[in-house]
Amino acid sequence: MTYENIRLEHEGAVATLTIDRPKALNALNNKTLQEFEAAVKSLGADTRVLIVTGGGEKAFVAGADIAEMSALEEPQAREFAALGHRAFALLESLSIPTIAAVNGFALGGGCELALACDFIYASEKAQLGLPEVGLGVIPGFGGTQRLTRAVGRARAKELVFTGARIDAAKAKEIGLVLEVLPAAELLAHCRSIAAKMIKNGPLAIATAKRVIEQGADKDLGEANTLERQGFAELFGSDDQREGMKAFLEKRPAVFTGK
């Protein structure tokens, strides 16, 4: 499939999805969101890690497309938010690790896209924020909810109410970003983290991701039940047999994801 506003590249088991509309700082218009959704849907079982980043020098994604949004009435705005929610929920539902490589501005919908990934690494020149209230609206692609879960209510409210942009160091300090890298090293860093994950059992990673996600909103007892079930279910899988056999035979495991 050919895309106009995104690029999907595969390097072994790592896919890199680049939002690539640099003339508008990769702003998410309807078409870009639809292409993004199609690209995520197209990922096959051979993809084991997804990296999401932005094209050009300046931006990860500078938000939803303000020019396109400016003329919307309520019914279309509802549809636009639903499209963003659906696309990011699809991303979030992937059973593989997803990494946001935030290489520049990650504002509004861009920050929301990064928040829908499992974790965020940022370049030193990144700036993150949810400036929507300055446009007379609120975040519409999950930002109020995912940011709150990521950094807590007070920080999320501070960022949303002020609309302030924070730099990568501040974003790391509040736990929004995991690591800050020099711009030239950002993608290499993400790929090296991906390479570490690819060595591990795919079924185990998928199960770990599922129980972390499903358990996060539950009380500890219920959440630990999910862990117990996930742990037990992995026994008898080819990956569990191979992983433990390889350890005992003092050799690297060769996982098949079965």
135 binds ligand CAA (CB under 6 A): yes
For 189-215, b where at least 16 C-beta lie within 10 A, e where not — what string? bbbebbeebbebbbbbbbbbbebeeeb
Binding to ligand CAA in span 84-123, by CB under 6 A: 84, 105, 107-109, 112
66 binds ligand CAA (CB under 6 A): yes
Q: What angle do CA 218, 221, 224 make, to 5 degrees?
A: 85
Q: How far is CA 45 from the centre of its chain?
A: 18
150 binds ligand CAA (CB under 6 A): no
Are 47 and 15 within 8 A, CB to CB? yes
CB of 176 to ligand CAA, least distance (A): 16
CB of 181 to ligand CAA, least distance (A): 20
DSSP letter (8 states) at residue 180: E
> Residues 215-244: x/- map of binding to ligand CAA (CB under 6 A)?
------------------------------
Considering only the stretches 65-73, 91-99, 173-181, 239-247, report the one whose residues sit in contact with ligand CAA under the rule CB under 6 A: 65-73
User: Residue 173 catalytic?
Assistant: no
Q: Rounded CA gap, 8 and 190, in Å?
A: 16
Active-site position among 9, 68, 132, 233 = 132
Count of residues engaged in binding ligand CAA, rule: CB under 6 A = 22
164 binds ligand CAA (CB under 6 A): no
- Considering only residues 25, 50, 128, 166, which one is a binding residue for ligand CAA as defined by CB under 6 A? 25
Query: In the numeric block, which tokens belong to residue 15?
Result: 């896919």
User: Residue 73 catalytic?
Assistant: no
Q: Which amino acid is at 61?
A: V
Beta bridge partners of 11: 14
Are 138 and 112 within 8 A, CB to CB? no
Which residue number, 23 or 250, has a Cβ lying nearer to ligand CAA? 23
Query: Is beta strand 59-61 parallel, antiparallel or unpaired with respect to 119-123?
Result: unpaired
The residues that are catalytic are 112, 132
What residues make contact with ligand CAA under the rule CB under 6 A?
24-25, 27, 62-67, 84, 105, 107-109, 112, 131-132, 135, 139-141, 143
